Amino acid sequence: MALLIIFFIALTTGLLELVVSEDGFCSAPPSIISPPSHSNYLYWKVTNPTLSPSHLQDLPGFTRSVYKRDHALITPESHVFSALPDWTNTLAAYLITPAIGSHFVMYLAKMQGNSQSGLPDHDVERFVFVVQGSVTLTNVSGVRHKLEVDSYAYLPPKFEHSIKSEASATLVVFERRHASLENHFTEQIVGSTDQQPLLETPGEIFELRKLLPTSLPYDFNVHVNPRSLSVSKFFFVVVSFYLLGPLPLQIMDFQPGEYLNVKEVHYNQHGLLLLEGQGIYRLGDSWYPVQSGDAIWMAPFVPQWYAALGKTRTRYLLYKDVNRNPL
């Protein structure tokens, strides 16, 4: 009997140590959840994702990826890389294409040493965003721009250019067929997120930066949300969009606990890459845990909403078609 009592006390003490830890009740043991060993550069988790929950990493068939009629969540464990046509020493994972129902293409381009981009079709516009490493952009006149992490470039249709990398680099690329307007022309744009001003967002609390002009020639934009409704960070890679209209691209930031006020339903499509953080994304009638490295496609009129969770800022890169009549 004495041995049974000692065994019970030891077992109970061990369980209490597991359940009540410095992280609070119901914390997982260190073997299941371990902190990241490094955070070497901005957006490093886009290229070094944490598969969550980590103890399911090796579970056969496990993935968080989902594809439905009006939305898709593509998570890092589902990425399939292959040689990128017309690029040298570059692998790509296509995350969004017209086969899914979109009017643009979004992909990750992993450039190796001595790699170089190819040219898109003559009527295709391209947007690239660097999430790891650095590349050199050169136009037909020989003008060069060095693009580092958090830098980007918009390249108009029929614009001859090359993107070269002497070492490893990862880009997010958006491409689409430009919906041109008579007597309106787009121009090459090179910039970085921190150069763009924060914009007012009436009724909302997140921070917003638009990476492209809002003027009529541009048929899409890219938004960066620098801060999200929770304490997490979202991270974006280099993306390529292949589209039929204007491209708005934005960076959006949420602080921990922040969320979208408006439950959006609109005609625009979205392509999204989480650069930093984690949270909950509502798409249609489904609610998805998301984290840095995840990509999302949103079809027109799908209900959408986001709330940030965790302990760090959330940031994501967002594509949106603009400035064109939906007819």
Residue 199 DSSP class: B
Is residue 265 packed enough to be buried (19+ CB in 10 Å), middle (13-18) or exposed (0-12)? exposed
Per-residue model confidence (pLDDT) at position 34: 34
Per-residue model confidence (pLDDT) at position 29: 34
Q: Is residue 194 part of a domain?
A: yes
Domain range spanning residue 115? 53-228+245-320
Non-local (6+) Cβ contacts of 61 within 8 A are none
Q: Is residue 106 part of a domain?
A: yes
Is residue 58 packed enough to be buried (19+ CB in 10 Å), middle (13-18) or exposed (0-12)? exposed
- What is 228-256 written as a DSSP string? -BSB--B----EE---SS-B-EEEEEE-T
Q: Is residue 10 part of a domain?
A: no
Single pTM value for the model: 0.77
Q: Is residue 237 part of a domain?
A: no
Q: Is residue 286 part of a domain?
A: yes
Residues of the chain with pLDDT under 50: 1-39, 226-247
Per-residue model confidence (pLDDT) at position 322: 78
CA distances from 213 to 65, 128, 165, 197, 270 (A): 33, 15, 27, 12, 18
Q: Is residue 20 part of a domain?
A: no
Q: Which CATH number goes with the domain that contains 296?
A: 2.60.120.10
- What is 265-298 written as a DSSP string? --S--EEEEEEE-EEEEEETTEEEEEETT-EEEE
Q: How many domains does the chain have?
A: 1
Q: Is residue 77 part of a domain?
A: yes
List, for residues 142-191, the tens digit of each pLDDT value: 999 999 999 999 999 999 999 999 999 999 999 999 877 777 778 898 99
Q: Is residue 9 part of a domain?
A: no
Per-residue model confidence (pLDDT) at position 211: 73
Per-residue model confidence (pLDDT) at position 203: 63
